[in-house]
Structure 1
Amino acid sequence: MQGHPEYSGGCQCGAIRFQVRGQLTDSSICHCRMCQKAFGAYYAPLVSVRGAQFAWTRGQPRHFQSSNVVQRGFCADCGTPLTYEAPDGMAVAAGAFDQPERLPPTIQYGAERKLPFVDDLARLPARRTEEDVAALEFLATIVSHQHPDHDTPHWPARSRSAEG
């Protein structure tokens, strides 16, 4: 698939990484109750990898059979939702991609379960994290253990036994 776009991504802790080669044109938001529960969110942003070359490059997800035909992959170490797997193909959580901004949604599914306030989210007041003056002292103490948004040869950067 030379000349086709490449994408990478993984879970929050870095135990699981993936790579996709090929055109990804089916990026969606699902409002069904199962997806809301699986993502712990108001909806689930998903990107179909049907027709593309998909490979796990580090680790493998664990699975939960959420219905008689669908299983959902997740990282057993950090809990990140990763996949929606059905007989007709697999979709990957949009937020698990290293550059989710490259995959804007083009359709919404499960509209009958869409929460009534979702369309108003863009109208809510918004501010940058550092604008929360009351939280600045707390924010300065945070040390992220999140995997960076790119592939790394090893993760975590130092062995767990050395963290003591």
Structure 2
Amino acid sequence: MRVATGGCQCGTVRYSVRLMDDEAYLCHCRMCQRATGGVSIAFTLVEVAAVTWTTREPERYRSSPFAQRGFCARCGTPMTYESDGHDMMDLTVGSFDDPSAFRPVAHSGVESWHPQWLDTRGLPTQRTDENERIANRWIETLGRLPH
């Protein structure tokens, strides 16, 4: 067991969680696609009792008759998927301070997946600091690139 921390983009919602393992999964269902604006979302399943909201809890949106999704009302970061009456919930892998510690072990909602997005290793790559348009915006605004 290890303790991990995370939060939203703006820092309004922060949490710590006791993790039992490093397993995660990708959900491709249409609800997750619409909730995130992406083709899938990475989740890790945790015990509700293992999560401590250290600043404030996320706002929640009832996304179906049996579940709600937690998000930051200030910056919009998606953070949870919570089924009513269960002692387990999903936290978004991207909201962890160190998402690299997780490993994908399954796909869910595959009736809506887009196979062309599953293996993109052959596509050209570029670091953010190598993208002149974006790098220049950071430098103009902050005087430096973000960490």
TM superposition shift of 1:77: 0.8
The 3 A distance-change label for structure 1 pair 46 and 135 is: closer
Structure 1 CA distance, aligned partners of 2:99 and 2:59?
A: 22
Deviation at 1:103, TM superposition (A): 1.2
- C-alpha distance in 2 between matches for 1:51 and 1:26: 16
The sequence identity of aligned pairs, in percent, is 38
Task: Please tell me the root mean square deviation across aligned C-alpha atoms, in Å.
Answer: 1.9
- Cα deviation per residue 1:129-164 (whole Å; 9 max; x = unaligned)? 222235443231243xxxx9xxxxxxxxxxxxxxxx
TM-score (norm 2): 0.87
Higher mean displacement: 46-55 or 119-128: 46-55
* Cα 1:50–1:139 shift into 2, 3 Å: same
Gaps of 5+ in 1: 149-164
Which segments of 5 or more consecutive residues in structure 2 lack a partner in the other structure?
none
Runs of 4+ that moved beyond 3 A: 133-136
Q: CA offset at residue 85 of structure 1?
A: 0.2
**Letter in structure 1 aligned against 2:127:** R
**Structure in which a larger fraction of residues adopt strand:** 2
Is the CA contact (8 Å cut-off) linking 1:21 and 1:54 kept in structure 2?
yes
Provide the C-alpha distance between the structure 2 equivalents of 1:133 and 1:126, rounded to a whole number of angstroms: 14
User: How many pairs are equivalent?
Assistant: 141
SS in 1 for 2:9: coil
Q: Could you state the TM-score of these two structures normalised by the residue count of structure 1?
A: 0.78
Larger Rg: 1
Query: How far is the alpha carbon of 1:127 from its aligned partner?
Result: 1.1
Report the secondary structure of 2:10's partner residue: coil
1:74 to 67, 71, 74: 71
